[in-house]
Structure 1
């Protein structure tokens, strides 16, 4: 039976084992999938250990998406562009790195939420590994403008330069957003994991605009409250993106793209029940 895992720290909360169990049942592919906690210091050693143990593929989550790229034998073009890796595919001699986050986000926005990016003004909050994975695919959708905002200007400016070959990206600080209005605001910061929300000026969401959070569960709560204060017409967490990027990773490993619609509903219900409890 083929073995797979998600690695990160912390990892106990991960929904990935549940997601891939659903995919395995759908596709009738026998596999084992587990969550493995890996520290930053032990990352290279653990990758070698899992390869020797015969694992066929790995998902990568916080805080390893950027650093794991250095230990890949090869990287896909989208992983190179992102400078971050969230999926590892086994080769005979090492790991091939890919990044399915951006495709997962676009699939969720377009197919599940009916949110159009083309021609819209889009604000992306945060400039870490999560943001890097979605910038290229967002630019490929031809937004009217894509603004990347962070607490300090250095990371957004560096990323704007990095992504210049594939599209224009306006970098700025959070506070410099004052007076701007956006049709879609995407939160790619990790602030919600600490129960916080980035400090942002006034009204940023245009009338009828939507808010989307890459986080989910309790980490989504601060952004959700902020989005409500912006009178968002739609507020979405990252469960859909999580399922969609996992489906693309599953296809890389097994050659089959599983369905996600019923699964997303189940995961939202499970999170609600957990929170209610």
Structure 2
């Protein structure tokens, strides 16, 4: 087996004859073809390996993993000796019940995206919140402390974002979702969090009249993955100081076009992806991770104009 093709999508069957002698990492998802995680992690590891011999044999792979076989996949990856795992759609919530220990923030959010090998299984973490906070600061100049945040969505990424917002001291957190049962589940999940009294839920299809007209809007819905997806929340009611962070990336979607038309500051989710990756690699290595190398790897993989991390 050759290991210069780490961006190739692999199947679990390949673990039966896994022979890589270095330290292996992976991302699991379904679908997973689009993931740039191998490109950005391997770019960082290659740079780290230039000065630290330990990391010269670290490599990151991606596996297509349908949700019904996630448990089996984690067992096989553990048996094969993998050191770290990232989880993407649709595994972040399901995996909470599959780890042997869990970080406090990940437990509160009810979602994990980073697994670290332990002797008896996997420890679970969530680096999405950290990634969002760093991205907001670097891309839009937004500090979560004291901010008004309007969070759209109630899935795994939204859960991590909500916990990070509360832990970082936002002045107000509004959470909008169309599925009210899922929204209520998230708000209930946050009931034990410090600052939970600052949370208000609302129906995305019928925003309340007292919804703030400025602050930062964070799109954590799947609307925006396609160019013709409608905006999850109409922007016409928001003032010119409103800033928009879209967790989707790589698509000139309606949210981006509308924000541009209205002159609102907008950033897509590539920076969040990079910074949550930085945090994951820090957890696995215990070392300082070069964020710019990760950004360069992600941009190269997607054919984007180079950006600053």
1:75 shift after superposition: 0.8
- More displaced 10-residue stretch of structure 1: 66-75 or 179-188: 179-188
Partner residue, 2:101: 74
- 1:169 and 2:199 matched: yes
1:140 shift after superposition: 2.1
1:90-135 CA distance string (max 9 Å, x none): 0111111110100111112124542222323211000011101111
In 2, distance between residues paired with 1:261 and 1:173?
38
In 1, distance between residues paired with 2:233 and 2:122?
40
TM-score of the aligned structures, taking structure 2 as reference length: 0.82
**Max Rg structure:** 2
For residue 32 of structure 2, the aligned residue among 11, 14, 20 is 11
1:197 shift after superposition: 3.0
For residue 225 of structure 1, the aligned residue among 217, 236, 257 is 257
Report runs of 4+ in structure 1 exceeding 4 Å deviation. Answer: none
Q: Indicate how the Cα distance of structure 1 residues 261 and 33 shifts in structure 2: closer, same or farther if over 3 A, else same.
A: closer
In 2, distance between residues paired with 1:200 and 1:268?
28
**Structure 1 stretches lacking a partner, 5+ long:** none
In 2, distance between residues paired with 1:136 and 1:66?
14
Q: Indicate if the aligned counterparts of 1:121 and 1:183 stay in contact, CA closer than 8 A.
A: yes
Q: Indicate if the aligned counterparts of 1:27 and 1:256 stay in contact, CA closer than 8 A.
A: no
Matching of residues 77-92 of structure 1 within 5 Å: 77-92=104-119
1:142 shift after superposition: 2.1
Matching of residues 96-115 of structure 1 within 5 Å: 96-115=123-142
Q: Indicate how the Cα distance of structure 1 residues 221 and 270 shifts in structure 2: closer, same or farther if over 3 A, else same.
A: farther
For residue 160 of structure 1, the aligned residue among 158, 183, 187 is 187
Q: Indicate if the aligned counterparts of 1:153 and 1:171 stay in contact, CA closer than 8 A.
A: no
1:222 shift after superposition: 3.2
For residue 247 of structure 1, the aligned residue among 263, 275, 278 is 278
TM-score of the aligned structures, taking structure 1 as reference length: 0.90
Matching of residues 1-277 of structure 1 within 5 Å: 1-28=22-49, 29-30=55-56, 31-165=58-192, 166-167=194-195, 168-179=198-209, 180=211, 181-194=213-226, 195-201=228-234, 203-218=236-251, 221-232=253-264, 234-261=265-292, 263-264=294-295, 267-268=298-299, 271=302, 273=304
1:198 shift after superposition: 4.8
What CA RMSD, in Å, does the superposition of the two structures yield over aligned residues? Answer: 2.0
The count of aligned residue pairs is 272
